[in-house]
Structure 1
Amino acid sequence: MSIAIITDSTAYLSSQFIHDHQNLLIAPVPVLWHGKTYTDMVDITPDTFYPELAKSADMPSTSMPSLGTMEDLLDQAQKKGYDDVVIIPMSKGISSFAANLHELTDHNEPRVHLFDTNSTAGGNNLLVRLAVQMATAQFSIDEVLQGLTTLRDSMTIEFVVKDLTHLQRTGRISNTARILGSLLHVCPVLTMDVHGNGKITPMAKERTEKRALNHIQGDIQRIMDANTALPYAAVVFDGNHATAKARWVDQLKAKFPGLAIDTSFIGPAIGCHTGSGVLGIAWAYDGEAIIDQIRRQR
């Protein structure tokens, strides 16, 4: 019994984490810009992407990892001796990538298990790290999928953007929402519908980023107070907004001392759709607590 995990690059895991886990394989997302195809987090990174985005009249877009790329990763997993592979893709609500992966689910060596995430970025960061930890610890495939389901079903993702232009341009949010944000000069609070269609929707509007973040903190408090079965953990992520992220992490740690907080970022493939200046958080039941719960259920 051995399990590998495949995810796309939009989980934005640290290079150290990827290096340390041989059972984790990454499918980079293609970024299309200036007539060229770049590879997310390989030959285009946040350090090069965001400065160019600020001055370029040519706006980037994304494609998706090809089925050929996914087949190559499955071949790698087979050669390494893995019996099962769990694929953890970006949300079906923002990309057709997950739908295309259904063509791989009849794969026999290794067996393929496609997990419906309804999330990306910080949310998938939490999911992938749990899956890798459980696979490394030799949990069964059913237990890994159970753990992922528990984490996803307890997850909330909320974030703020500087404006809605990029999300509207690439079709990730409605034109109505873009006009609302632009005309009223509001700082919108957005969410991913993790418990439904996995789409990005506006949920509130505030006059400043500070008020928007306070709104999110209120949601964190409300949800954690209403769901006390397990402790929570979170990933705070930013798109070219690192100073604000560090400041917010300090505030969150002071306000929620029992919340385990990690950090991540938004790289080029997601930054194409959100633009610069994103700040958000994904929170869900703590992975360690989920693992302990599954062990007790054995």
Structure 2
Amino acid sequence: MKTAVMTDSNSGIKPEEGEKLGVFSLSMPVIIDGKVYFEGKDIEEKEFYDSMISGKDVTSSQPSPGDVMDMWDSILENGYDEVVYIPMSSGLSASCHAAIQLSEEYDGKVQVVDNHRISVTMREAVKDAKWMADNGVSAKEIKDALEKNAYDSVIFLTVDDLKYLKKGGRITPAAATLGAVLNIKPILTTVGEKFDAIEKVRGMKKSLAKLLDYTEEFVNKTLAEKPDAEIRIGAAGTFTNDQAAEEWYNEVKERFPNVKDIYYNPLSFSICCHTGPDAVGIGVSVILRDE
């Protein structure tokens, strides 16, 4: 059986990079002042962030059923016997459950994975899936392995401006106003479901330090429970300044010198719609592949 791996741009893998990795990536739609754009296809980070900063009406959206099924059909018509599709976590969007329902029309040839990830941890799941597919693992077996490993990951996140959380109804207007006055930065986390606030600190410098502290705690706990585990760390963000992104990446590398694979990847537009520009994140994954 020849198995294809498909994801969406919430993984940070855009179509062009997907081609290099040997996976298929569906561009996620975003709506700006009523017009639909597709991430990594007809809009890139700078234009997207500028739209938010300038006050345009920006919202995320689910991919249309037609777009999802068209890509499945194209894959199956071009030499593949089955597809493993890895969308964003069902805890963050209804698009996963919608895809599961659509896949019922394909008699098992399309396996939709709900492994509760997004951004850099989702990226690692896609790479795990590709490695397994290349080694002859079936679509159903890949789905089962990824879902079993779903919660062996975490993302920590902080935001620069609370107005975007307020806009999305995640904090009250009063809390946003007070937070802005006091320079409060929330620490958010997800282990597969919605982002929850676990702490509030004053100032971005302290907030970044907390992200690293929580990440180190998770890494140490994971390695204590699974000494042979292979760890990957992805620094992430919605930086409007390339230098700031580089500085964050270097901070993460300096804090975790024993982790051999640390990289930077922008947060997806779907996350940025809720966090705004200049959010900072970090994700840890236990990988399944043997590299």
TM-score, with length taken from structure 2: 0.87
Residue 16 (structure 1) shift = 5.4
In structure 1, distance between residues paired with 2:34 and 2:289: 46
Name 1:211's counterpart in structure 2.
206
Aligned with residue 157 of structure 2, among 151, 155, 159: 159
Does structure 1 residue 74 correspond to structure 2 residue 65?
no
Give the 5 Å matches for 1:10-29: 10-13=10-13, 17-22=17-22, 24-29=23-28
Name 1:137's counterpart in structure 2.
135
In structure 2, distance between residues paired with 1:21 and 1:217: 29
The answer on whether the counterparts of 2:11 and 2:268 sit within 8 Å (CA) in structure 1 is: no
The answer on whether the counterparts of 2:153 and 2:191 sit within 8 Å (CA) in structure 1 is: no
Name 2:238's counterpart in structure 1.
239
Deviations, residues 118-174 of structure 1 (Å, cap 9, x unaligned): 221222122112212322333333542354235422101001111232233234x34
Classify 1:244/1:77 alpha carbon distance in 2 versus 1 (closer, same or farther; 3 Å): same
In structure 2, distance between residues paired with 1:71 and 1:51: 32
- The one-letter code matched in structure 2 to 1:215 is K
Aligned with residue 172 of structure 2, among 172, 175, 179: 175
Give the 5 Å matches for 1:123-134: 123-134=121-132
- The one-letter code matched in structure 2 to 1:284 is S
Q: Which moved more, 1:241-250 or 1:184-193?
A: 241-250
Aligned with residue 221 of structure 1, among 212, 216, 220: 216
- The one-letter code matched in structure 2 to 1:113 is Q
Number of equivalenced pairs: 284
Name 1:54's counterpart in structure 2.
53
Name 2:117's counterpart in structure 1.
119
In structure 1, distance between residues paired with 2:68 and 2:14: 21
Secondary structure, in 3 states, of the residue corresponding to 2:289?
A: helix
In structure 2, distance between residues paired with 1:151 and 1:232: 13
- The one-letter code matched in structure 2 to 1:283 is V
Aligned with residue 83 of structure 1, among 74, 81, 84: 81
Name 1:264's counterpart in structure 2.
265
Classify 1:17/1:134 alpha carbon distance in 2 versus 1 (closer, same or farther; 3 Å): farther
In structure 2, distance between residues paired with 1:134 and 1:179: 49
Name 1:42's counterpart in structure 2.
41
Residue 267 (structure 1) shift = 4.2
Name 1:296's counterpart in structure 2.
none
- The one-letter code matched in structure 2 to 1:221 is E
Deviations, residues 56-97 of structure 1 (Å, cap 9, x unaligned): 3x3211221111111101101111232221121112222211
Unaligned runs of 5+ in 2: none
Residue 281 (structure 1) shift = 0.8
Give the 5 Å matches for 1:196-207: 198-207=193-202
Does structure 1 residue 283 correspond to structure 2 residue 280?
no
Secondary structure, in 3 states, of the residue corresponding to 2:150?
A: helix
The answer on whether the counterparts of 1:159 and 1:279 sit within 8 Å (CA) in structure 2 is: yes
In structure 1, distance between residues paired with 2:15 and 2:109: 27
Classify 1:213/1:151 alpha carbon distance in 2 versus 1 (closer, same or farther; 3 Å): farther
The answer on whether the counterparts of 1:89 and 1:97 sit within 8 Å (CA) in structure 2 is: yes
Q: Which moved more, 1:110-119 or 1:122-131?
A: 110-119
Q: Which moved more, 1:218-227 or 1:101-110?
A: 101-110
- The one-letter code matched in structure 1 to 2:4 is A
The answer on whether the counterparts of 1:45 and 1:268 sit within 8 Å (CA) in structure 2 is: no
TM-score, with length taken from structure 1: 0.86
The answer on whether the counterparts of 1:83 and 1:110 sit within 8 Å (CA) in structure 2 is: no
